Structure 1
Amino acid sequence: MNILLTSVGRRSYLVEYFKSAVASLNGKVHAANSIETYALQQADEHVITPEIYSEAYIPFLLDYCQSNQITIIISLFDIDLPILAKNKVLFKQSGIEVIVSDKSVIDICNDKWRTYQFLVGHNINTPQTYISLNDAIAALNNNTLTYPVIIKPRWGMGSIGIYKADNIEELHVLYNKVKNEINSSYLRFESAADSNAILIQECIQSDEYGIEVINDLEKNYITTFCKQKLAMRSGETDQAITIENRKLSAIGKALSSSLGHIGILDSDCLEKNGEYFVLELNARFGGQYPFSHLAGANIPKQIVDWCIGQKTNKDLTTITVNILCSKDIKPVKL
C-alpha cells in the first residue's frame, strides 16, 4: 500500500506516523506540497505540485498516483479538502481512495458561518456570531452582544486575520484590516465565493480545549479524544494535556452523528459557566493530533487497517489521560 499525503506543510510528524503505519505492508509514503518543506524530505518519495487552485492540480495528482501505484490519498490542509472531495469519484475510477469527508461536510467545516448555522441547528453550544457588521453593531447597542468581540475571516485558517475589538472604533478599524488581510493572502480564493467574508463573534475568555472525534470510514462513531490546551502559537496547539471530560465527549458524539464525517474531526472548544462551546471544526488531522498519538492513539495505523478491511482496534483508538505534551522548534537545513 502506497499513500500520498498532500499539502504536508510542516507536519513531518504525520509523515513519520504514516511511514510507520505502512511499514509492515512494504508500503511507501509519498508527500506532496506546492513549495519545498522539511516534511516533504521525510517521506519515502516527494513531489512539488501545482498550486491547489490551479487547473493542473488534480490532473497532476492523478497522473502521479497512477505512475507511483498510490492507492490512498490523505490531505493535511483545509483548502485542499473541498477540491479532493469534489474529485473523489474521479480518483476512485483509477482505484485510488481519497480519505476525505463528503463535500457537504467539508463545506460546513471550512465555512465558519455555515459551521455556526450547523451547530445552532443541532443544538450544540457555539459563540454568538454575526455575518453582518451592521447586525453586530445593533446587537452591541442593545446589549445582546457585548465587548470584546472577535473579528475573523469566514474562511479562515490558522491565526490569519483574527483580532479582538474592545470598542466601536476598534471594531471598524479591525474589520477593514481583516478585509485587507483576506485580499492579500490565499484566503482570497475561498472568500471570493461570497461578499460577506468576515464574521463578528462573541468573545469567550476561558481556558481552551480541543477534541478529536474519530469516525470509521463508514462514518460510524468510534471515540472522542479530549485535551486541555495550555499554550498556543499562530493558531496551533503548542502544549496540551489529555483529559477525561464527559461533556466534551458528549459533544464529540453529537458531532459525529449530526455531521457524518470520515476519519478524524478536529475541533476547538471554550468553556463558559461550566458549559462548553464549539468554536470551529476541521475535517482533517489538526495540530493537536500529536498529543493524542503520544498518549497512545495511532489513527494513521487505524486508517491503514480500515483500508485493508480490518476492524477497529481499541488499542489504536484509546488515549491515556493526564499525559502532558509539548511541541518543539527544530531548525533544519533543506
Structure 2
Amino acid sequence: MNILISSAGRRVSLVRAFMNEMKALGGAVIATDMNPKFSSACQVADRSFEVPRVTSDKFVASLLKICKDNNVSIVIPTIDTELNILADNRERFKAIGVDVIVSSVDIIRQCRDKRKTHQLFSHLGISFAKEFAHDVPEFPLFIKPIDGSCSKDLYFIEKPNDLTQSLIENEKLMFLEYIDPKRYKEFTLDLYFTKDSHLKCVVPRERIEVRSGEINKGVTRRNFLVDYVKERMSLVPGMIGCITLQLFYNEKNNDVVGIEINPRFGGGYPLSYAAGANYPKWIIDEYLNGKSLSSPYYDEWEDNLLMLRYDDEILVKDGGLGF
C-alpha cells in the first residue's frame, strides 16, 4: 500500500507529511517528475521515477506502469495541468486498484476556467470581482488569464494610458474589478472534502507575503471565514480531497470576494498540516483503511500559527556526475 505524489517538483514538505503518516502502515511514498534528479521532493521521497511531460500522450501510461510495478494504492496530483488528465483517466487507475485523489471532471473544468469559476461562486453564494468587457474597462483594473496559475501574466492597470492594445486584443485575459489590498486581506483556505464530498475541515491562512505565486509568510486565522464557508460549501458534489479556496476578506464589514478555487493541495498547505489539519492521514484513513470521515466536522487546528519560510538545500552525493 504505497502512495504516489505526481509532479512532485519542490513539494518537499508535502512528501514528508505523507511519509510521516505512512510510517504506521509501513508503506512508501513515491514521487514522480519530468526530471527527478533535479527535483528536491523526489530526492527525499522513498523512491522516485521519471515521467514524460504532463501533456505527452505517454504520461498516463507511464504513471499506470509505475503504480502497477510499485504496489501504489493512491495517487496525489499537485499541479493544475494534470488535474483534467487524471480525472479523465480515473477509471483506468481504478481498474488496477488505484484511487486518484482528484475532484470530478466537471468541478476541475469549472476551477480551471476562471469565468466558469465565477459561475461556481455564484452557485455557492460567494461574491466575486466584477468582470468588464475589454472595450469598456473601469480603472484601476486587474487582469489575469482565464486559465492561469502560479501568478503568471497578472497585470495591475492603474489608468487608461497603461492599457496596451495587445492586452485589449487578448481574449484569454479577464479584465476584473481591482480589489484594494489596503481594505481587503488575501486568504487561502485549505478545505478537506471526504470521498462523498462532505466538508470535513476549513483552515484560513492569511497570505502575509507571497513569492512566485506561493505563500512565503502566512498565519492561520480562526475567523468569520470558517463559518462563511461552512454555510455555503458543507456539501459540494464532485469536490474531493484537499481544495484550496482563495478569497479577499474585509475584516471591518465581513465582505468576502472570491478569487479562485484550486482543486489540489496548495503550496502553503504545510502550514495547515503543522496546525493539526491532517489531510494526508484522512486520505490514508478513507482510501486505505476504509474509514468514513463524513462526520464529525474537524475544528481543532491551531489558531494564529505563523509560518516563515526560508530556502534550504537538498544535497545529493555524486549528483554532478555526467554534467
TM-score, scaled to structure 2: 0.89
Q: Check conservation: 2:142, 2:155, Cα contact below 8 A.
A: yes
Equivalent in the alignment of 2:127:
125
**RMSD between aligned residues:** 2.1
Q: Check conservation: 1:163, 1:174, Cα contact below 8 A.
A: no
Equivalent in the alignment of 2:199:
221
Equivalent in the alignment of 1:326:
308
- CA distance in structure 2 between the aligned counterparts of 1:87 and 1:110, rounded to whole angstroms: 17
Q: Deviations over 1:140-189 (max 9, x none)?
A: 3xxxxx32111111111111101101122322257279x5xxxxxxxxxx
Q: Check conservation: 2:125, 2:232, Cα contact below 8 A.
A: no
- CA distance in structure 2 between the aligned counterparts of 1:204 and 1:229, rounded to whole angstroms: 15
Matching residue within 196, 203, 212 for 2:178: 203
Aligned ranges 1:13-32 → 2 under 5 Å: 13-32=13-32
- CA distance in structure 2 between the aligned counterparts of 1:124 and 1:91, rounded to whole angstroms: 34
- CA distance in structure 2 between the aligned counterparts of 1:294 and 1:257, rounded to whole angstroms: 26
- CA distance in structure 2 between the aligned counterparts of 1:258 and 1:311, rounded to whole angstroms: 17
Q: Check conservation: 1:248, 1:276, Cα contact below 8 A.
A: no
Q: Deviations over 1:69-111 (max 9, x none)?
A: 1111110111111100000011111111111111101111111
Residue 304 of structure 2 corresponds to residue 302 of structure 1: no
- CA distance in structure 1 between the aligned counterparts of 2:108 and 2:230, rounded to whole angstroms: 17
Equivalent in the alignment of 2:240:
262
SS at match of 1:169: helix
SS at match of 1:226: strand
- CA distance in structure 2 between the aligned counterparts of 1:327 and 1:173, rounded to whole angstroms: 39
Equivalent in the alignment of 1:245:
223
SS at match of 2:67: helix
TM-score, scaled to structure 1: 0.86
Equivalent in the alignment of 1:11:
11
Equivalent in the alignment of 2:75:
73
Residue 162 of structure 2 corresponds to residue 170 of structure 1: yes
Equivalent in the alignment of 1:96:
98
**Cα–Cα, structure 1 residues 129 and 256, in superposed 2: closer, same or farther, change >3 Å?**
farther
1:264 to partner: Cα distance: 1.3
Equivalent in the alignment of 1:52:
54
Q: Check conservation: 1:151, 1:174, Cα contact below 8 A.
A: no
SS at match of 2:261: strand
Q: Check conservation: 2:216, 2:309, Cα contact below 8 A.
A: yes
Question: Comparing 324-333 with 160-169, which one deviates more in the overlay?
Answer: 324-333
Q: Deviations over 1:263-312 (max 9, x none)?
A: 11101111245301110100011022111112122111111011111243
Identity %: 29
Q: Which runs of 4+ in 1 moved over 3 A?
A: 311-318, 331-334
Q: Deviations over 1:175-228 (max 9, x none)?
A: 279x5xxxxxxxxxxxxxxxx321111110122112122211111121211122
1:119 to partner: Cα distance: 1.1
1:53 to partner: Cα distance: 0.7
Q: Check conservation: 1:298, 1:316, Cα contact below 8 A.
A: no
Corresponding residue pairs, total: 307
1:333 to partner: Cα distance: 3.8
Equivalent in the alignment of 1:185:
none
Residue 147 of structure 2 corresponds to residue 147 of structure 1: no
Task: List gaps (5 residues or longer) in structure 2.
Answer: 317-323
1:259 to partner: Cα distance: 5.5
SS at match of 2:163: helix
- CA distance in structure 2 between the aligned counterparts of 1:108 and 1:175, rounded to whole angstroms: 24
**Cα–Cα, structure 1 residues 327 and 259, in superposed 2: closer, same or farther, change >3 Å?**
farther
- CA distance in structure 1 between the aligned counterparts of 2:248 and 2:218, rounded to whole angstroms: 14
Q: Check conservation: 2:197, 2:236, Cα contact below 8 A.
A: no
Equivalent in the alignment of 1:39:
41
**Cα–Cα, structure 1 residues 97 and 235, in superposed 2: closer, same or farther, change >3 Å?**
same
- CA distance in structure 2 between the aligned counterparts of 1:59 and 1:201, rounded to whole angstroms: 40
Q: Check conservation: 1:91, 1:97, Cα contact below 8 A.
A: yes
Q: Check conservation: 1:75, 1:284, Cα contact below 8 A.
A: yes
In terms of fraction of residues, the more helix-rich structure is 1
Aligned ranges 1:103-114 → 2 under 5 Å: 103-114=105-116
Task: List gaps (5 residues or longer) in structure 1.
Answer: 141-145, 180-195
SS at match of 1:13: helix
- CA distance in structure 2 between the aligned counterparts of 1:315 and 1:225, rounded to whole angstroms: 12
- CA distance in structure 1 between the aligned counterparts of 2:292 and 2:233, rounded to whole angstroms: 22
1:67 to partner: Cα distance: 0.9
SS at match of 1:257: coil
Matching residue within 262, 273, 287 for 1:293: 273
Equivalent in the alignment of 2:319:
none
1:255 to partner: Cα distance: 3.3
